Amino acid sequence: MTPMESSSKDNDSKTEGSTKNEATAKESKLPRGIQTAFDAKYNIVDLQTPLNAFMSGQYKRSFAYHSLRNRLPVVLTNVIDTMTREKAELVALYSTNDFEQAARDELKTIIGLISQLKYELQTDKAFHDFKGAEPDQNDWNSFLGDLPSAERTFYRGCSLNAECYLYRKLYSFVENSIFLKGYDYFAKIKEQALIDNMDDVLALTKYTRRPEHSPKMFDELLKINLWSNCNDAANDPEAVAHMLNLKVLKNVEATNEYVLVDQSEEIWRCLDTANSKKPQQVDFILDNAGYELFSDFILAEYMLEQGLATKVRFHVKAHPWFVTDVTERDFKWTLQYLSQHVDYIISLLGKKFMQFLDEGKFELAPTSNFWTSPHAFHSMTQTDPDLYRSLQQSKLVIFKGELNYRKLLQDVCWASTMELSTCLRGFLPSNICVVRRVKSEIISGLGDGAAQALTRKDPHWMVSGSYGLIQFVDGSREFGY
């Protein structure tokens, strides 16, 4: 049994609050009349997302419907439960004795606002403008104002807009508070995602102490990096992730058949071609904290030490985002935790990464609100031209994970055989690499008949997370690499 087959079987048997299997099982137990009433009330149709349409909660067989109906309410419920359970700790941390009661009252107000947001999500209410002190308020309100009225609700709108709006509105509650400014609802989840996987961190560290300048080693590291996304604490059971981490290291090649598009060789050629007239910089648009971020560091270390890059620049989210996405705080906390770890090997590597940061070989890019905006990436030239010009300095831009993939493709259900370069709609600041586990029906670049064959084999292949993509778009002719 291959690692992916084992993971898939375990995903079916393990349960976790926000997984598709558990949520679907719960919904299927509801009386049919209740399900029908909900679907009728909110104009839900029992169809897959039509070709060339935005992924939307209006299509019941879409990942968007599952996410809005089952996953996101659980996220909000968990936040409410955590804040309620840790009320005394939060009040003590974020206030003084003189303002303890005021902090308690504010915390109660924020919990109430989150409950209201959950109600609006579950009843397909319209999006509200931002009216606080959000630094990106004008951009968000302009975007929302330009949406057709029929697309300005959770289920009727594009799923990407709905999910981004929910997480942005969620953070605005603490952002506009007096006492809880800077509070990260998900900080402990992200920290635990690394702490619980330190055995795997050590195993990966030992596995990668081989200084081989070869396409084969690079291919292995890309595959390891791809499957490290199985440690997404928001969606994947910990036991399954741990078992998969070890299986991947034991036999990386066994996962090859689950990589639906593998353009690792082209990515290697892109990086291994030196051009003294151009900066040898690689940019990572990061996804999850924890073991996956550590895997990103390992891949970046290899690029630097093998002369494939002289600098690796990391882009993080401006605030807590989609539960486990990396923020500046997570990035710095991870390096600090590794460098101070009791295991000598891990500590040594952590200090090495910290030194990379001091020397400018690792660089934390200036925080941009674009990554937490509702905009698809093709609009970057208009909405954030400075960021676009910054990415043009890079030899390769690596986009990690599901959300970045959906933003690259504008959450459109393209034909699966459509070339990724076409789906980008002109977004090509430099050479582009995509490393993504498939968790929704948004996909491109497959061969003729591949999607149909996969559906016959596994009707849920698009949302199972059992398949991955390593894709490359060549920007060399345009930018002279």
Q: What is the pLDDT of residues 133-156, one digit of tens each?
A: 999 999 999 999 999 999 999 999
Q: What is the CA radius of gyration of the chain?
A: 22
The domain boundary, picked from 123, 151, 185, lies at: 185
- In a domain? residue 65: yes
Helices (H), 196-327: 198-207, 215-227, 238-250, 264-272, 291-305
**pLDDT at position 34:** 54
- Quote the pLDDT of residue 21: 40
In-domain check, residue 206? yes
Look up the domain containing 162 and give its range.
42-185
Q: What's the number of domains the chain is made of?
A: 2
In this structure, are 193 and 179 located in the same domain? no
Sheet with 311-315: strands ordered across: 259-262, 468-473, 432-437, 396-400, 281-285, 311-315, 362-364
One domain for residues 177 and 297: no
By three-state DSSP, how is residue 381 classified? Answer: helix
Residues (pLDDT < 50) of the chain are 1-4, 6-26, 28-29, 32-33, 479-481
Domain membership flag for residue 35:
no
**Residue from 279, 305, 149 nearest 218 by CA:** 305
DSSP run (H or E) holding 432? strand 432-437
Q: Give the residue from 131, 158, 185 where a domain finishes.
A: 185
Q: How far apart are CA 433 and CA 84, in angstroms?
A: 42
DSSP class per residue in 246-275:
HHHHH-GGGGGGGEEEE-HHHHHHHHHS--
Quick one: 160 and 76 in the same domain? yes
**pLDDT value of residue 327:** 98
Q: Are residues 303 and 417 in the same domain?
A: yes
Output the pLDDT for position 98. Answer: 86
Domain boundary among 135, 167, 185: 185
Whether 338 and 465 share a structural domain: yes
Give me the pLDDT at residue 97, please.
Answer: 84
By the 8 A CB rule, do 327 and 184 touch? yes
Q: Give Dmax over CA atoms of the chain in angstroms.
A: 68
CB-CB contact of 182 with 329 (8 Å)? no
Helices 198-207 + 291-305 axis angle, to 10: 20
Say which DSSP state 441 is in: S
